[in-house]
Amino acid sequence: MQRGRHRWVHIDYPPRKRSTVKKLHESHDKLIFVCQGYRDRLLSEKLPPELQKRLQELKDSPVPLYDRRLPWSQDLQKAIQRTAVPCVAFATGRTHHLLEAFTMEEVFALEKLVPEILQGFAELNKRLPEDAKDAAKTRHRPLDLK
């Protein structure tokens, strides 16, 4: 997981219960599998009044002080609602580094975007010859300063 990156869907990685791992394509080094993930949601109404007040002050501050973190405590742990979510995960083949996890809703949204994605690929493939010519003109040539 990238440092400082907030994910909506979390998985315990490597997952204990998952589908069979498939290679995305024979020429690529990416793995795909389905596993059980979860979403954590902070229910502020379950927090004690002093933490609710502090959370509201952090959110209302003109300076962005709220980084989605409060001091960890038992009260905070009790206010977190965990929801199980099935998800599709992508990982690298050699290092098994988790790349991304998508929920079923995100997969359906991505499926709806497939025609636009294919159109974008087609447009870029048409521009490929002229981009190659431009790249040849702008290629770095080291100076011979001997």
**Structure confidence by residue, pLDDT tens digits, 71-92:** 667 877 888 888 999 999 999 9
Burial class (CB in 10 A: 0-12, 13-18, 19+), 3: exposed
R_g (Cα) of the chain, nearest Å: 23
Residue type, 141: R
Instruction: Provide φ and ψ at 4, rounded to 5°.
Output: 75, 10
In Å, how far from its chain's centre is CA 130?
33
Q: What is the pLDDT of residue 70?
A: 64
Q: What is the pLDDT of residue 87?
A: 93
| Residue 107 CA neighbour count, 13 Å, CB half | 15
The per-residue pLDDT string of the chain (146 residues; one tens digit each, 9 = 90 and over) reads 444 456 678 888 888 889 999 998 887 789 999 999 998 888 888 888 888 888 888 777 777 655 556 666 787 788 888 899 999 999 998 888 888 899 999 999 999 999 999 999 999 999 888 887 777 777 777 777 76
Reading the block at residue 126, the tokens are: 């048409």
Cβ contacts of 52 within 8 Å, gap of 6 or more: 44, 45
Q: What is the pLDDT of residue 4?
A: 47
Q: What is the pLDDT of residue 71?
A: 67
Q: What is the pLDDT of residue 3?
A: 47
